[in-house]
Amino acid sequence: MQSALDTGNTAWVLTSAAMVLLMIPGLAFFYGGMVRTKSVLNMLMMVMGSLFVVGILWVAFGYTVAFGTDTGSGLIGSITENAWLTNLMADAPDAALPAMAFVAFQAMFACITVGLIAGAIADRTKFSAWLIFSALWATIVYFPVAHWVWAAGGWIFKLGVIDFAGGTAVHINAGAAGLALAIVIGRRVGWKKNPMRPHNLTLVMIGAGLLWFGWFGFNAGSALAANNAASVVFVNTFVATCAAGIGWLVVEKIRDGHATSLGAASGIVAGLVAITPACSALSPIGSIILGALAGVVCALAVGLKYKLGYDDSLDVVGVHLVGGLVGTLAIGFLATDLAPAGVNGLFYGGGLDQLGKQAIGAFAVLFYSLIVAGLLGLLLKYTIGIRITKDDEVAGIDLTEHAESAYELGESGGGGVFAGVGHAARAKMEVE
């Protein structure tokens, strides 16, 4: 029998899946460079740990909950249809894209979305509680929300909301969960009093670079084909990010007097977040406008936590929640029917219709994730505990949760006179 398999599309989707996987260590470096020397390993471990957990859940039941046949409500896919994926192994001659290629691609989205949350609760979260939270939040929030937004039977999809690669399902979703958890867990010891400077800005920039590279898989791969739409999306993703980098740096230069490397790296991510839902709906000019807007708005939004008093350590709210909202809502203004999505926004004569839909999708996901993540955080807080002790936090979470220290620079161990903790720990082990 003649196979309908499209090898070009399949190759692109599998390649894109691997590119999205690379975003996960990229995210770990981006976050890891921003924390202090004593908690960088824990940050890497949180991001990679949630990858392990969610990856297995995706195969077990995540895929079928998200993309199984809708149960009729628009809220959730069939739980049994594709459990463990055993039924998807056989070659389907009439499928242009193997089901497993789509499974693999979407698996990475689930894993990175959970990892994004870790930045809001850096330096202080019990590793075991984080892994349990990852499993519960993925199950109760991400898998159903992915169904709402992307599955043919999902209610947000059917409403006509445009979210090409995850403004709502990934970024608003993770940002809202980060906000809830940061509030439930509480501020770090010494927050606002002690300087908590990023310990390695070169690592932050390496992470931002890996994220940008992988994001082409994230966005252009979401076309699920090596075609014109993927190419338009690719260019929009590229140019919006450039504009966001400039937007963020201009705000810094005017407000603080200096354009910083952390600002450049943050602008990159803010632009990528904002263009994610919109990359199929905008022209390249629209993408530049959106990117610049996202860079400016996110650069201003990261200061909110100091005014409102929640310790969103690495600005998951300011970058992902706010950036996701900017991108999702901007579609209502900037969409042009010349782009692959084929919809006109307000500025292109499309009226308010699309903007209304975008707002419903964005805020439904925001509040659902915020509430459920908050409840899960409270559940963990009052059962196994979600936070390490104050003493452990001050000593450094790398040492107390993982019995490691990241940097061993000096010959006497510990890299300089003020960083001897690794050496002390090793000496203790040798004594025992």
Partner 1 sequence: MKLITAIIKPFKLEDVKGALEGKGITGLTVSEASGFGRQRGHTEVYRGAEYTVDLVPKVRVEVLVDDENADTVVEAIVGAAQTGRIGDGKVWVIPVDSVVRVRTGERGSEAI
CA angle 162, 164, 169 (to 5 degrees): 85
Question: With CB under 8 A as the contact rule, which of the stretches 1-9, 58-66, 117-125, 414-422 interacts with partner 1?
Answer: 414-422
The 8-class DSSP code of residue 416 comes to S
**255 lies in the binding site for partner 1 (CB under 8 A):** yes
CB closer to partner 1, 246 vs 362: 246
Q: In 3D, which of 369, 397, 399 has the Cα closest to residue 138?
A: 369
The three-state secondary structure class of 125 is strand
CB closer to partner 1, 77 vs 422: 422
x/- track of binding to partner 1 for residues 197-216 (CB under 8 A): xx------------------
Q: CB-based contacts of 87: which residues, under 8 Å, 6+ apart?
A: 81
Q: Give the shortest CB-75-to-partner 1 separation in angstroms.
A: 37
Instruction: Give residue 161's identity as a one-letter amino acid code.
Output: V
Of positions 195, 254, 307, 391, contacts partner 1 by CB under 8 A: 195
387 backbone dihedrals φ, ψ, rounded to 5°: -125, 145
For residue 190, CA distances in Å to 142, 348, 390, 432 come to 33, 50, 10, 33
Q: Give the shortest CB-299-to-partner 1 separation in angstroms.
A: 7
Are 175 and 321 contacting, i.e. CB atoms less than 8 angstroms apart?
Answer: yes
**260 lies in the binding site for partner 1 (CB under 8 A):** yes
**259 lies in the binding site for partner 1 (CB under 8 A):** no
The CA distance from 48 to 161, in Å, is 31
Q: Give the shortest CB-144-to-partner 1 separation in angstroms.
A: 33
Beta bridge partners of 130: none
Of positions 39, 42, 173, 266, contacts partner 1 by CB under 8 A: 266
Of positions 2, 86, 94, 418, contacts partner 1 by CB under 8 A: 418
106 backbone dihedrals φ, ψ, rounded to 5°: -70, -25
For helices 261-278 and 228-256, the axis angle rounded to 10 degrees is 140
CB closer to partner 1, 38 vs 126: 38
Q: Terminal CA-to-CA distance of the chain, rounded, Å?
A: 68
CB closer to partner 1, 17 vs 270: 270
Question: Considering CB under 8 A, how many residues would be counted as binding partner 1?
Answer: 22
Of positions 8, 303, 342, 385, contacts partner 1 by CB under 8 A: 303
**72 lies in the binding site for partner 1 (CB under 8 A):** no
CB closer to partner 1, 86 vs 258: 258
Interface residues with partner 1 (CB under 8 A) are 195-198, 252, 255-258, 260, 262-263, 266, 299, 302-303, 306, 315, 318, 416-418
